[in-house]
Structure 1
Amino acid sequence: MSVQTVSETHLDAPIVDDEALDTDGALREKIERACSRIAPLWPLKSFVAVNPFMGFCDEPFALTCARLRRVARTDMLMPRGFYRQALAEGRITDRDLAEALSTAPSAWKVPEGVEALKEIVEKKSDDAAPRAPVATLAEILDELAAGDRQASRTAFMVDEISKWCAAYFDEGQANWQLPSRNGNLYKAWRASVRYDLNPEMMGIRDFRKNIASLPEDPVEAIALVIAELGVPNRAVEDYLFRALFDIRGWAAYARYLAWDKALYGEEDNTLLELLAVRVVWGYAIYLERTDKPFRDAWAMAMAEAAESPRDERLGDDAGLTVDLIMQDAYEIAFQRALRMDFEAKAAAHGSATEAGRKPLQAAFCIDVRSEVYRRALEIAVPGADTIGFAGFFGFPIEYVQIGQSKGAAHCPVLLKPAFVVCEEVSGATEEEETEILGLRLMRRRAAKAWKAFKVSAVSSFTYVETAGLLFAAKIFGDSARLTRPVPHPNLDGLDKAVVERLRPRLEPRVVGGRQTGFDAEQRVDMAEAVLRAMSLTDNFARIVLLAGHGSTTVNNPHATSLDCGACGGHTGEANARVAAAILNDPDVRDALRERGISIPDDTWFIGALHNTTTDDVTLFDDDKAPESHHEGIAVLKTRLAMASSIARRERAAMLGVQDAQNVDAAVLGLSRDWSQVRPEWGLAGNAAFIVAPRGRTHGIDLGGRAFLHSYDWHKDDDFKTLELIMTAPMVVASWINLQYYGSTVNNEAFGSGNKVIHNVVGTLGVLEGNAGDLKTGLPWQSVHDGSRFVHEPRRLNVFIEAPIEAMNAVIAKHDGVRLLTDNRWLHLFALDDKGRVSHRYAGELTWERLE
């Protein structure tokens, strides 16, 4: 069937392309592909960084820029003015432009020479995205409304879907639960729509009747709508993706539910059902709009979609090509500066290490904030050996706190917890543990009832009138940063006196039976794995510190985003303590000696927690150390305090702390300030992931921009550790990097907007204001200080010291790694045996030698 023009076609007749009408199986494939483009969004209680472009990693970075610009009218590069300013300030040089031009794909239509490129950049560009190859009802309606949000049905539709999703997914915030929330999403929505008069009151005639007439099966409903709207077969997938993109926040949460179920081998269709809700909602608006301007515009849009190209042709968008080259040049400038640092370090014989036993070995998470503290500790303890490793220390555990009935996964979200570890009171009787559990549950129930009383429709007024003045002291303490507005999450429900009495005795139960803890063989296996992964198999110091990390903030819905991503958005305390307890086990050490790892009898491992907001370091279970180590531990605490002060002073400048005489108090105050929008900068600035011995970077000020993973390939006979690093920490670092990238280049689409007006919804996420879609990504205040970008949008630059053949073997074996490297979602470089950057990965297992 050929495409007909609008004048030849009845306005109500569907327009189709030359292809045969879609089959049910083919439609399901298109639905699955559209849904797979959505990246998951973890809830606030375990908010972790996620690559917002995860669903597009099977295609090149440049192609995704073109696809999102054409299909979703969304940019994922900075505005042209950003690159123009970088040129003017000398942050991009002619040399960088020349290299970017020389490495551009041959298919691109690029300017002929640096001067021609600069001339184009200096001109004012049209930043408007081209018309999408397939329009949605939303786009047509918005065009007809001329940007008037009040006249736009799209904004109303998104608000209504978001409001309903908030009720359906709610996890305890709402006082009254949605009656039908226990059923499948699409079925529950259809049930609630029967009583929802809002759409019809807003002028959408027969909304409830039209919804009731559609199929009950979500796939059948989508198929019917696609046919009735006349969406061309070649445009169906793009149409469905754009429909999800309108509600990408709630779609991302639904994608998370499917991700979580998949870890346990289960299926979840929530995202498909949410897609059906969105498509059916749009169809209801279509049926209501019978006016000729709308139907003419829709018919024309479908006719254009039937003739649209199947791929994203960069040559058709010259402005985008120029911006891609400028982004490459911007990243090349950073790479060049870092390569010079490596070169200078290698020239100074940077790999040389002092002979003899180290005064201290301290392992920190690879987190970029640890890079600052590690430099400070190396100043405070000359000769100390600091180690970088994923902050869960190789122990994928579910940790159950004292008084809790359910635990939380303390491991990367790529993994499923393999062990359950319960917190217990050391030496407590069964009666004491029962008392603690009962007390915590009782206090939580009382707190929930008290909150319900405070916020209920009637009692809230009486409460404020009678009890308001009683909170004067509390309000003063919170405002003066002397107290916390809310209890620390780890201590929620515990009486302060009980906490003070039991805190020194709280510890993880490492040894356990079938249900909890580790058996003897598991403890040895895990100990060997973590030591080999850290390249820590000999030359042990007397004291080895294992420091996880966490943050301390208040009035911050995204607080867990500042905790350890490798621990699933929780602090690394539990993992560090578990690792130390196992490595101090004499039976484990005896077994390790038989496996070629001999830990001296006088070596003691200490678990610790680095607070990245205040830069304090807390030691755990140090009272269990042998008496011979007490003096050394006392000295260590003094040195840690010194390192903390050094690190605070470096961060203070970035935080805008002006009082140089009271930096420590000022930084501590930020962690308690309920009005503070930037208590710390988190991982802002991250740009590099370096996998090499510490000697390659020791003494280089990386400015808190690099993930540092310790690795000595000479100790990795079968390159299993290299494989682990490239398939887990490198991928997670890329997720973090691209989340910050997306939140910077287009915060409206991939971030969460202004945190000052955030409202928590369902305890799951935030809205910006009181309506709209669930927000994803990071707040604007996490990447911008009000006058300039603190995070500079660059793709991750990975530097690995290992044989190229070994890296190629990992890339060839793992599709996920190959897609990231071949499609330029990150840049991969090789370090030679002197620590110089010798090669750059060029794709398809080929490398380019760098001079």
Structure 2
Amino acid sequence: MDHQLTLGDRLKVRTMIYVASEPIPRFWPMRTFIHHNPLFGLEHLPFEEAVEEAGRLFHGRGYLSRSEYQEYWQAGKVDENALRKYLHVFLEKHAETLPGISMEHWLWSLLTRCQNEQMVPRTDWLDGRILHAVLHGQAPDQDDETQKYRLQDILSHKIALDGPVYANVDRLFGTDIGSTLDDLLVKSCLDFFDEGQSAWQSPGRKQGFFAAWKEVAQHNVRFFLRGLHLRNLLDSEATPEGVVAHILRDLKVPEASWQKYITRQLTRLHGWAGFIRYRSTAKHYYWAEQYPADLTDFLAVRMVLGMALLQEAVRHHACPANAEEIQDFVHADPFSAYLRLELYTGSILPAWAQQVEDVLARRKRSGFDKMAQQYITAKSRWEAARQVKNLQRLAKAMGAAAEAELLAMTPDQLDRFLEIMRAWEKQEGFTWLRSMESHYIKDLVNRIHIPQAPAAAEEKRPFAQALLCIDVRSEPMRRHLEAIGDYQTFGIGGFFGVPISFLEYGRGTEVHLCPAIQTPKNLVLEIPAELELEEEPLYGALEHVLHELKSSVLSPFVAVEAVGLIFSLGLIGKTVAPLTYHHLHHKLHAESR
């Protein structure tokens, strides 16, 4: 149990989880999305860095594609002067080491003419020496020492020590732990965080997310059939923070890396994590008060499931069981590790896929080194050929002078050239964004006309005064209203100082009629004037019975027979006494009309 985890240790784990969850935005409640900022947890960073970090954490794209920005530029929606200004600022910092190369021309053409979404894509082996050789139709020289050094650098980047262990196992052994874990966790969340939609409620929810899930998981036949041994993991510690700490130690994740490790775990399903984070801190949230849960519960459930799936993979694939064993595996046989990464991450050259898969299936190290060296040679040439094709296409669009510059560059100059191109592409989206904003700011300022001060006139009471919301969407209404007559408008808080919630008749959730940043304390109910109050319990009971019949497991079996019996009366009548049946049928329809 928790005999090894003191109160201080538990608080330390909770603090780590709290800090690790800071970048996760809280997009809840979804009905008032207007004021939510997806970069809220990264506001301490400059905007450009925040977008880059958010893209890494949440697997999203912060800017539009290059082709979309080019369409806006051609439509006159981008400030070209601003675009050139930001380009000059960039060149002042980066292009001083490439004399004789018109980097401004290259980068401007990259911005406005390049059709590729990425001119210099990510590569493993490409450098100026290899690019220079392929550019001039030569075979690049092989340097074994440089290759080994570069291989270690590639593996340390792709198999990070602070990365989730199951993710590294997926990359190295082709398992599917990550997606399976996400599916199981999403189903567990749907069961617990149900807000009255399901007919069958998950048991024990008042105990909290982890406690309720722990009770159900120990009797879950689905987990048992999958071979997941959860009981030992759940019995190891009593509290969710104890379980998190216990599993992190079993995985041999360095304690200095715990916070980054936890962040990567939480951001894998950042939508659920954001909802739980909001739910655990919201005031007067009924479902949270009735069925409590926080990110510590969520992380504990995820880590128990992940550990069980990892143990299953170890039994079936003989793969490493913790972070240290993964690092030992990579360092002991880097060529095998690289081939595995290429094959199981889908980065392998198609012509080599079958051959590499066969060698890995035999599990004999004798063929790994030779094949890996041959594959690395082929991969480096393929990366160089792709890069040469991209550069030659761009140079052709720029003109003969650019083609000559490309061919005249030395290997060192090509290295620096690629470095500058990568740096520019990294900040290109932010440059486009600022240039578009500059265009709209100038356009707005140019359309503002300050009228000359009129001659002093006697103060006259306006025909009418109107109070409108200070929201920018109300500004056009104010301007048009003042233009059509003797009206005076004022901008004030649109809720008129009385924040209320409105619950429409027959609806299960209320609407907040106030600014999104406020929580109303007043609730207004809608009740139909013609509805007799004594009828409400009857309607409610009938609705409840109908809902139970629709959602009951037995309804499909009973309803079919019951409805079939009713329709059988008409069938019998048409068969046995058709004249009498049609006579009664027409009579009933006539009376109903």
Give the TM-score normalised by the residue count of structure 1: 0.42
- 1:726-737 alignment runs, 5 A limit: none
Counterpart of 1:322 (choices 425, 430, 434) is 425
Query: Measured at CA, do residues 198 and 378 of structure 1 come closer, stay the same or move farther in structure 2, by a change above 3 Å?
Result: farther
Are 2:53 and 1:31 aligned? no
Partner of 1:786: none
Deviations 1:769-808 (A, max 9, x none): xxxxxxxxxxxxxxxxxxxxxxxxxxxxxxxxxxxxxxxx
Q: Which runs of 5+ in 2 are unaligned?
A: 1-7, 124-156, 331-417, 565-593
Query: Measured at CA, do residues 337 and 409 of structure 1 come closer, stay the same or move farther in structure 2, by a change above 3 Å?
Result: closer
Partner of 1:183: 207
Deviations 1:143-181 (A, max 9, x none): 3476xxxx6222222111111211211111110111121
Partner of 1:64: 50
Whole-angstrom distance in 2 between the partners of 1:244 and 1:56: 16
Query: Measured at CA, do residues 50 and 371 of structure 1 come closer, stay the same or move farther in structure 2, by a change above 3 Å?
Result: same
Whole-angstrom distance in 1 between the partners of 2:13 and 2:563: 60
- 1:251-650 alignment runs, 5 A limit: 251-261=273-283, 270-290=294-314, 291-293=317-319, 299-300=325-326, 319=422, 322-349=425-452, 356-366=460-470, 370=474, 381-399=484-502, 409-419=512-522, 436-460=532-556
Partner of 2:86: 100
For 1:36, what is the secondary structure of its paired residue? coil
Partner of 1:542: none
Counterpart of 2:216 (choices 192, 197, 207) is 192
Whole-angstrom distance in 1 between the partners of 2:513 and 2:494: 10
Once structures 1 and 2 are overlaid, which stretch shifts more, 447-456 or 185-194? 447-456
Following superposition, the deviation at residue 268 of structure 1 comes to 6.7
Partner of 1:247: 269
Query: Measured at CA, do residues 398 and 331 of structure 1 come closer, stay the same or move farther in structure 2, by a change above 3 Å?
Result: same
Once structures 1 and 2 are overlaid, which stretch shifts more, 364-373 or 133-142? 364-373
Following superposition, the deviation at residue 221 of structure 1 comes to 1.1
CA contact (8 A) 2:20 2:262 kept: yes
Following superposition, the deviation at residue 183 of structure 1 comes to 1.0
Whole-angstrom distance in 2 between the partners of 1:187 and 1:280: 13
Q: What amino acid is the match of 1:446?
A: L
Whole-angstrom distance in 2 between the partners of 1:424 and 1:117: 65
Whole-angstrom distance in 1 between the partners of 2:293 and 2:477: 44
Are 2:314 and 1:211 aligned? no
For 2:49, what is the secondary structure of its paired residue? helix
Partner of 1:161: 185
For 2:243, what is the secondary structure of its paired residue? helix
CA contact (8 A) 2:499 2:522 kept: yes
Q: What amino acid is the match of 1:248?
A: H
Are 2:100 and 1:78 aligned? no
Partner of 1:118: 108
Whole-angstrom distance in 1 between the partners of 2:535 and 2:422: 64
CA contact (8 A) 1:190 1:211 kept: no
CA contact (8 A) 1:142 1:152 kept: yes
Query: Measured at CA, do residues 437 and 96 of structure 1 come closer, stay the same or move farther in structure 2, by a change above 3 Å?
Result: farther
Query: Measured at CA, do residues 442 and 405 of structure 1 come closer, stay the same or move farther in structure 2, by a change above 3 Å?
Result: farther
Counterpart of 1:51 (choices 11, 14, 37) is 37
CA contact (8 A) 2:83 2:432 kept: yes
Whole-angstrom distance in 2 between the partners of 1:394 and 1:194: 52
For 1:346, what is the secondary structure of its paired residue? coil
Whole-angstrom distance in 2 between the partners of 1:384 and 1:251: 50
Following superposition, the deviation at residue 302 of structure 1 comes to 9.6
Partner of 2:244: 222
Query: Measured at CA, do residues 346 and 182 of structure 1 come closer, stay the same or move farther in structure 2, by a change above 3 Å?
Result: same
CA contact (8 A) 1:397 1:418 kept: yes
Query: Measured at CA, do residues 440 and 325 of structure 1 come closer, stay the same or move farther in structure 2, by a change above 3 Å?
Result: farther
> With CA pairs under 8 Å and 6+ residues apart, which has the higher RCO, 1 or 2?
2
| Larger-gyration structure (1/2) | 2
Whole-angstrom distance in 1 between the partners of 2:30 and 2:425: 38
Following superposition, the deviation at residue 188 of structure 1 comes to 0.9
For 2:244, what is the secondary structure of its paired residue? helix
Deviations 1:398-421 (A, max 9, x none): 456679999765434533435555
Whole-angstrom distance in 1 between the partners of 2:201 and 2:297: 20
Following superposition, the deviation at residue 316 of structure 1 comes to 9.4
Following superposition, the deviation at residue 274 of structure 1 comes to 0.7
CA contact (8 A) 2:52 2:62 kept: no
For 1:213, what is the secondary structure of its paired residue? helix
Following superposition, the deviation at residue 256 of structure 1 comes to 1.6
Q: What amino acid is the match of 1:118?
A: W
Partner of 1:140: 168
Q: What amino acid is the match of 2:434?
A: E
CA RMSD of aligned residues (A): 4.7
Give the TM-score normalised by the residue count of structure 2: 0.59
Whole-angstrom distance in 2 between the partners of 1:275 and 1:140: 19
Following superposition, the deviation at residue 193 of structure 1 comes to 0.4
For 1:182, what is the secondary structure of its paired residue? helix
Deviations 1:517-559 (A, max 9, x none): xxxxxxxxxxxxxxxxxxxxxxxxxxxxxxxxxxxxxxxxxxx
Whole-angstrom distance in 2 between the partners of 1:73 and 1:285: 23
For 1:207, what is the secondary structure of its paired residue? coil
Whole-angstrom distance in 2 between the partners of 1:303 and 1:360: 80
Following superposition, the deviation at residue 194 of structure 1 comes to 0.7
Are 2:253 and 1:231 aligned? yes
Whole-angstrom distance in 1 between the partners of 2:121 and 2:497: 46
CA contact (8 A) 2:320 2:329 kept: no
The answer to which structure has the higher strand fraction is 1
Q: What amino acid is the match of 1:332?
A: S
Partner of 2:589: none
The answer to which structure has the higher helix fraction is 2
Once structures 1 and 2 are overlaid, which stretch shifts more, 449-458 or 438-447? 438-447
CA contact (8 A) 1:365 1:390 kept: yes
Whole-angstrom distance in 1 between the partners of 2:36 and 2:250: 36
Whole-angstrom distance in 2 between the partners of 1:303 and 1:73: 28
Deviations 1:584-605 (A, max 9, x none): xxxxxxxxxxxxxxxxxxxxxx
Q: What amino acid is the match of 1:140?
A: N
CA contact (8 A) 2:21 2:263 kept: yes
CA contact (8 A) 1:361 1:385 kept: yes
Whole-angstrom distance in 2 between the partners of 1:351 and 1:80: 49
Whole-angstrom distance in 1 between the partners of 2:173 and 2:255: 28
Whole-angstrom distance in 2 between the partners of 1:396 and 1:171: 25
Whole-angstrom distance in 2 between the partners of 1:152 and 1:40: 29
Query: Measured at CA, do residues 206 and 163 of structure 1 come closer, stay the same or move farther in structure 2, by a change above 3 Å?
Result: closer
Query: Measured at CA, do residues 337 and 375 of structure 1 come closer, stay the same or move farther in structure 2, by a change above 3 Å?
Result: same
Identity of aligned residues (%): 24
Following superposition, the deviation at residue 34 of structure 1 comes to 1.3
Whole-angstrom distance in 1 between the partners of 2:240 and 2:501: 35
